[in-house]
Structure 1
């Protein structure tokens, strides 16, 4: 019995060490990539494609839906209601740190990469890169990538210029871009917009960390 317990403890220890090592690989890969990512982010910001270009109100709205504690956390947040298991920084890590991201064990390196990004890039730089790389669903010319680009493609204006409902539709598709039809009459998309509207107005709040679909705002 004692031998079995010792073997189990050893196996668990090895798994933990392996996980930490894999996370460390992601961290140092992000540090290595940081210079290029900083330059890319600064270029986006200078061209008006960063988070500040949304305007303060809409900047706050997108964070409230996607990552409420973005400005406070260091890349990981498993506690905040509505945040889910993937922060904006982790989402960015999946897009810029992998040739092809695979869920499961890839989450370990993704988290390490996110921590590395947070150690090297400013929040403004991270958000600018995230906005430029998010998937926005199918548009008139095929699959769309980039929040600002999708706004221009669908509505002919930048996110700070569109109507409130149009802006919320851009935010709404982020959770599942293949599920919704941006710029079209889509009942499912409208339902998502309605829930987000209630959240932003204070009529409801996520029930826990996993409530990314805002089920608590469905009533």
Structure 2
């Protein structure tokens, strides 16, 4: 019984130490991690495009501090997705901080759904980067599937590959379809699975027009919305 009590006390202590290290490392390594992470092709969204993207991907983006349990949010915010790219993505930093980065990258690869370290990094990123900067960087780096055998990164590349035009020239309907892809870009692929993409885009249009609302935190499929 005593051993069980010791284990019960040890587990939260180890978890707190793990999260504290993640916070300190992310704060002190932020500039190096940001500099080493691929920036992608940044473009300025119109006010309407930004509103659509935030409504679909992160409805409380402008109000939260990096994490959110808003209705329709799901397990990731724009901030946490960006934290994954900046701190745990392709960029590499050197020295002892690089060794810690490799450790946290390994934990994330193992336990994506329950990695609280990444969530702490999202809080740090939100404190260090303005919402406007976050949105611009997310727009430039978000994965948008595979086209002609190559990965498509960012909405600007996606517009050129899937729409054949610059993002600024995309109609609202075309932008909704791009936003609809983000959840699972190889499933909601305009070439490989146009029917699934059309259904998701229809649900998003209904959401934007106020015909329906997400059914709870995990409803990122907008199940109550007509397709």
Fold conserved between structures, TM > 0.5: yes
CA contact (8 A) 1:133 1:145 kept: yes
Matched residue SS, 2:206: helix
Tell me the residue number matched to 2:27.
28
Counterparts of 1:126 and 1:34, CA distance in 2 = 14
Counterparts of 1:195 and 1:29, CA distance in 2 = 42
Map 1:54-65 onto structure 2 (within 5 A). Answer: 54-65=45-56
Deviations 1:50-109 (A, max 9, x none): xxx22111211110000011111111112x100111000110111221146515267222
Counterparts of 1:208 and 1:103, CA distance in 2 = 27
Tell me the residue number matched to 2:82.
92
Counterparts of 2:15 and 2:150, CA distance in 1 = 43
Map 1:195-214 onto structure 2 (within 5 A). Answer: 195-214=203-222
Counterparts of 1:71 and 1:183, CA distance in 2 = 33
TM-score of the superposed pair, with normalisation by structure 2: 0.80
Counterparts of 2:144 and 2:68, CA distance in 1 = 24
Summarize the Cα distance change of 1:193–1:183 in structure 2 as closer, same or farther, 3 Å threshold: same
Matched residue SS, 2:145: strand
Give structure 2 stretches of 5+ with no counterpart.
90-104
1:213 Cα offset (Å): 1.0
Moved more, 118-127 or 166-175: 118-127
CA contact (8 A) 1:151 1:158 kept: yes
1:23 Cα offset (Å): 2.9
Dislocated runs of 4+, deviation >6 Å? none
Counterparts of 1:77 and 1:37, CA distance in 2 = 27
Give structure 1 stretches of 5+ with no counterpart.
none
Matched, 1:153 2:152: no
Map 1:1-219 onto structure 2 (within 5 A). Answer: 1=1, 3-4=2-3, 6-28=5-27, 30-33=29-32, 36=35, 44=42, 49=43, 53-78=44-69, 80-99=70-89, 101-104=108-111, 107-140=115-148, 142-182=150-190, 186-218=194-226
TM-score of the superposed pair, with normalisation by structure 1: 0.83
Counterparts of 1:173 and 1:29, CA distance in 2 = 34
1:121 Cα offset (Å): 1.2
